[in-house]
């Protein structure tokens, strides 16, 4: 059940654009090496993805900083920053 | 009109204690409760093109009077909502009678008596930076990850936290709503905590949403909620093999006990 619920959440986050930031693994207390490997790999993966784009003020300011992406034009990003600052 | 005669008969014979349908009031078709004592009002019963969650009204009435028998007009979406409400023990099938009426136009039915046609076409700006309400989930999946986030955040940050999506939702019935719990969703600021506010609701719609689209109809800022919940239920079908509203099985996220509360009971008891 847990694996299904986590899969559900992973897919929802991927649909939102936050893919790969949720990981589930079963590690027994006797599997120290596996623990080290999983944590190291995941840390490396997160480092590759960069900082959480939603960290900080409501996530909006940071989302606005994605101005180079897709449809976000400059005026939009300025407008959003103003929005974010006013809260 | 056969429908009117049938409803009159139901009320007179006591098949139902009240019937929820639509009646013109001040030029608007509004939900109206027809009763035996005012049977002449049934002549004004109309199907109309407007759409309200009549089964939600039935849920509220049943909560106050558990033994009451209710009849209601039901389009396809109402019927799916009723199926979900039976599963979640909000209504009892033997206490509900429906008059099934024609539904929204769709690929299957060209003619429909319903106000919900298609979402409005998205304007130029929304098409460039937001999420087009007429899109399907697979259209969103064409965008890469940062662009998806950016587009969804543009939509979510418009939210004015009116709770319209929750209030209209036929399958939202919790007494205590997570969206109003200060420890789950921060208070006192607009927009609300995004995307948590919308994702909490999206997760709660998993295995519950019957895709009626009332939330999107109600949303004053046009957030593509129906699209989001469609995706959520798509995942539920893929991961749990559960089709919402189609059967009598408990949904995969059902963890209901006797009483649902967000209070951390056991821990608090220990501390005291």
Beta bridge partners of B38: none
Rounded to a whole number, what is the distance in Å from the CA of A58 to chain B's nearest CA? Answer: 6
Residue B254's Cβ-side half-sphere holds a number of Cα atoms within 13 Å equal to: 16
> Is A14 an interface residue toward B (CB < 8 Å)?
yes
The per-residue pLDDT for range B130-149, each reduced to its tens digit, is: 888 888 888 889 998 888 99
Per-residue DSSP letter, B120: P
For residues A36 and A69, membership in a common domain is answered with: no
Burial of B212 (0-12, 13-18, 19+ CB in 10 A): buried
CA atoms of A55 and A17, how far apart (whole Å):
14
Check if A46 contacts B (Cβ < 8 Å).
no
**pLDDT for B34 beyond 50:** yes
In chain A, the residue whose alpha carbon lies closest to the alpha carbon of B129 is: A71
Q: How far apart are CA B189 and CA B5, in angstroms?
A: 52
Chain B residues whose beta carbon lies within 8 Å of the beta carbon of residue A4: 239-240, 252
Q: Are B250 and B206 in contact (CB under 8 A)?
A: no
Task: Check: CB of residue B209 under 8 Å from CB of residue B233.
Answer: yes
Q: Which residues of A touch B145 (CB under 8 A)?
A: 14, 17-19
- Residues belonging to chain B with any Cβ–Cβ distance to chain A shorter than 8 Å: 127-129, 137, 140-141, 143-154, 157, 189-191, 193-195, 199, 202-203, 206, 228, 231-232, 235-236, 238-240, 252-253
Once rounded to an integer, what is the mean pLDDT over residues A4-29?
A: 91
What chain A residue is nearest to B227 in terms of C-alpha separation?
A15
pLDDT tens digits along B160-208: 999 999 999 999 988 888 888 888 888 888 878 878 889 999 999 988 8
A76: pLDDT confidence band, cut at 50, 70 and 90? Answer: very low
Following DSSP, what letter does each residue of A1-47 receive, concatenated?
-HHHHHHHHHHHHHHHT-TT--------TT-HHHHHHHHHHHHHHHH
Residues A61 and A38 in one domain: no
* pLDDT category of residue A47 using cuts at 50, 70 and 90: very high
Flag whether pLDDT at B48 surpasses 60: yes
Per-residue pLDDT at B272 exceeds 90 = no
Q: Burial code of B126-153, b = ≥16 C-beta within 10 A, e = fewer?
A: beebbbbbebeeeebeebebbbbbbbbb
Whether B213 contacts B117, CB under 8 Å: no
Using an 8 Å Cβ cutoff, are B227 and B137 in contact? yes
* Residue pair B31/B20 in contact by the 8 Å Cβ criterion: yes
Q: Please, which pLDDT band fits residue A86 given cuts at 50, 70 and 90? A: very low
The answer to whether the beta carbons of residues A20 and A45 sit under 8 Å apart is: yes
For residue B96, give the 3-state DSSP assignment.
strand
Q: How many domains, in total, are found in chain A? A: 2
In the three-class reduction of DSSP (H, G, I as helix; E, B as strand; rest coil), residue B248 is classed as: coil
**Does A41 contact B at CB distance below 8 Å?**
no
Q: Is A27 on the interface with B (CB under 8 A)?
A: no
CA distance B22 to chain A (A): 38
In this prediction, residues A29-39 reach a mean pLDDT of 95
Name beta bridge partners: B18: B35, B70
> Are residues A61 and A46 located together in one domain of the fold?
no
| pLDDT above 80 (res B237) | yes
Long-range (24+ apart) CB contacts under 8 A made by A42-45 are: A45/A20
Nearest-by-Cβ selection for A59 from B189, B194, B206: B194
Q: Residue A63 belongs to what H/E stretch?
A: helix A60-64
Residue B33: pLDDT band with limits 50, 70, 90: very high
pLDDT at B163: 92
If we measure between CA atoms, which residue out of B125, B149, B224, B161 comes closest to residue A79? B125
Hey, of A13, A16, A75, which one would you mutate to test binding to chain B, going by the most B CBs within 10 A of its CB?
A16
- Note whether A71 and B129 are within 8 A (CB): yes
Determine the Cα–Cα distance for residues B246 and A78; give it in Å rounded to an integer: 47
Tell me how close the Cα of B141 comes to any Cα of chain A, in angstroms. 7
Is A58 within 8 Å of B152 when comparing Cβ atoms?
no
Share of chain B above pLDDT 70, in %: 86
d(CA A60, nearest CA chain B) in Å: 7
Do residues A76 and A36 share a domain? Answer: no
Kindly indicate the confidence band of residue B263, based on its pLDDT and cuts at 50, 70 and 90: low
Contact by Cβ (8 Å): B55, B85: yes
The domain in which residue A70 lies consists of 56-87
Same domain (yes/no): A68, A84:
yes
Output the CA–CA distances (angstroms, integers) from residue B134 to B48, B213, B224, in the order listed: 25, 12, 8
- pLDDT on residue B119: 59
Q: A66 in contact with B at a CB cutoff of 8 Å?
A: yes
Taking residues B224-244, report their average pLDDT: 89
A85 and chain B in contact, CB less than 8 A: no
Kindly report whether the peptide bond that precedes residue B191 is cis, defined as omega within 30 degrees of 0: yes
Q: Which of A16, A17, A83 sits opposite B157 (nearest CB)?
A: A83
Considering the domain architecture, whether residues A7 and A22 belong to the same structural domain is answered as yes
């Amino acid at each position: 059940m847990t694996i299904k619920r986590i899969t559900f959440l992973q897919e929802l986050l991927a649909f939102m654009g936050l893919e790969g930031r949720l990981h589930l693994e079963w590690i027994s207390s006797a599997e120290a090496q596996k623990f080290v490997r999983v944590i190291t790999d995941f840390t490396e993966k997160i480092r590759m993805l960069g900082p959480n784009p939603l960290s900080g003020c409501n996530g909006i300011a940071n989302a606005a900083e994605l101005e180079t992406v897709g449809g976000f034009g400059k005026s939009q990003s300025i407008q959003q920053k103003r929005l974010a600052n006013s809260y | 009109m056969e429908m009117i005669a049938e409803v009159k008969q139901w009320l007179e014979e006591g098949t139902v204690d009240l019937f929820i349908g639509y009646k013109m009031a001040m030029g608007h078709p509004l939900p109206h409760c027809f009763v035996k004592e005012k049977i002449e009002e049934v002549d004004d019963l109309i199907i109309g093109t407007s759409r309200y969650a009549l089964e939600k009204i039935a849920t509220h009435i049943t909560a106050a009077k558990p033994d009451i028998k209710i009849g209601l007009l039901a389009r396809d979406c109402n019927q799916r909502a009723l199926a979900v409400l039976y599963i979640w023990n909000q209504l009892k099938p033997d206490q509900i009678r429906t008059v099934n009426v024609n539904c929204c136009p769709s690929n299957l039915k060209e003619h429909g008596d319903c106000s919900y046609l298609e979402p409005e076409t998205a304007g130029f700006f929304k098409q460039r930076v937001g999420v087009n309400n007429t899109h399907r989930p697979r259209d969103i999946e064409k965008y890469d990850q940062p662009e998806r986030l950016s587009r969804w955040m543009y939509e979510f940050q418009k939210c004015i936290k009116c709770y319209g999506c929750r209030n209209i939702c036929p399958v939202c019935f919790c007494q205590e709503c997570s969206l109003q719990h200060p420890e789950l969703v921060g208070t006192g600021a607009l927009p609300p905590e995004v995307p948590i506010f919308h994702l909490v609701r999206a997760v709660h719609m998993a295995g519950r949403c019957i895709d009626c689209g009332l939330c999107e109809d109600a949303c004053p800022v046009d957030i593509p909620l129906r699209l989001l919940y469609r995706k959520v239920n798509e995942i539920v079908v893929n991961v749990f093999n559960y089709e919402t509203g189609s059967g009598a099985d408990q949904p995969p996220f059902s963890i209901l006990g006797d009483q649902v509360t967000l209070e951390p009971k056991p821990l608090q008891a220990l501390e005291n």
